[in-house]
Amino acid sequence: MTRELIPTDRPPEPAGRKVADFRPSLVLGEHSLCPGCGEPVALRILLETLQELDLVRKSIGVVGHGCYGSFVRIMDVEVLQCLHGRAPSCATGIKRMRPDVGVFTLQGDGDMVNEGLQEVIHTAARGENVTCILLNNGVFGDTGGQQTATTVLGQRTKTSIEGRDARQHGHPIAVADVVASLDGVAYVARGAVGTAGSVMRTKKMIRTAFEAQLAGEGFSLVEILTMCPTGWFVGAPQGPDYMAEAMERVYPLGDLRSRPLRRGDD
């Protein structure tokens, strides 16, 4: 088959923007995360939201321990890193001392749902006016891909190589659903970063969570499903499909608790 070529009378223009130009302006250097990892995408939409809400110099982040910790030294926002799982308690203290700033946590599933489950539940039940961001990839990525409390049944991990089995390992904990059931909670949602559409919807969720905090409505949580091809034993290009088939079935996307309607909202 012969291909018809489109005639041109001049050499191509150089690209208006190169891939490197798309780095968010609040990221000052290189990170060390794997190709195909979903965490940098989640970080990007979080940072863009801070910029869009004019919160960059009026916010403090509390970061847990996980692969996303690679961003602590290169994110141009105020952050502190606390003990594994303890971010919601540190955020509580900061917000009570500085109610004028936006306070958020950045935690993985191992950090929030294993090491620090009681922290997030109590912080939510107290209705602390902070925003927690959970990056859920179903593994302890940073330490080699071990099973966490959110690993779905049948999922292979370094410590459940035959797949998670409910009789041996118990059932996964859907922490966002638990938190959404508590009084004192203003907004809970679950998004993902596997497709362009889900990235945009998740960014809107992050914005809604911060808006709830700025309006003083109480606790907000956004869970973000993120690809971890390294920990899932799949190639980087297969990450989004694996996530949709294995995780989104168990953790459906969408709002789990909507902000209360206020006068003039509808």
Ligand X SMILES: Cc1ncc(C[n+]2csc(CCOP(=O)(O)OP(=O)(O)O)c2C)c(N)n1
Chain residues that interact with ligand SF4, rule: CB under 6 A: 33-34, 37, 39, 67, 137, 141-142, 228-231
Per-residue contact track with Mg ion, 107 to 126, x per CB under 5 A? -xxx----------------
Contacts of 173 (CB under 8 A, 6+ apart): 113, 117, 149, 150
Phi, psi for residue 24 in degrees, rounded to 5: -60, 145
- The answer to whether 104 and 135 have CB atoms below 8 angstroms apart is no
Crossing angle of helices 39-52 and 196-214, in 10° steps, is 50
From 225, 209, 205, 229, select the one nearest 217 (Cα to Cα): 209
Q: Report the site for ligand X in 92-111 (rule: CB under 6 A).
A: 108-111
Closest approach, Cβ 181 to Mg ion, in A, equals 23
Under 8 Å between Cβ of 131 and 102 = yes
Least distance from ligand X to the Cβ atom of residue 3, Å: 45
Out of 38, 40, 61, 66, the residue judged to bind ligand X by CB under 6 A:
66
DSSP state of 37: -
149 touching ligand X, by CB under 6 A = no
The residue among 90, 101, 106 whose CA lies nearest residue 46 is 106
- Residue 151 in contact with ligand X, rule: CB under 6 A: no
191 three-state secondary structure: strand
251 lies in the binding site for ligand X (CB under 6 A): no
Among ligand X, ligand SF4, Mg ion, none, partner that 34 touches (CB below 5 to 8 angstroms by kind) = ligand SF4
Site for ligand X in 14-53 (CB under 6 A): 39
Q: Tell me the window of 61-69, 116-124, 211-219, 233-241 that interacts with ligand X (CB under 6 A).
A: 61-69
Q: How far is the CB of 73 from ligand X (least distance, A)?
A: 16
Say which residues have a Cβ less than 8 Å from residue 2's Cβ, sequence separation at least 6.
none
**Residue indicated by tokens 């302890």:** 140
Count the site residues for ligand X by CB under 6 A: 19
Number of residues located near Mg ion, criterion CB under 5 A? 5
Nearer to Mg ion, 92 or 147 (CB): 147
Min dist. Cβ of residue 33 to ligand SF4 (A): 4
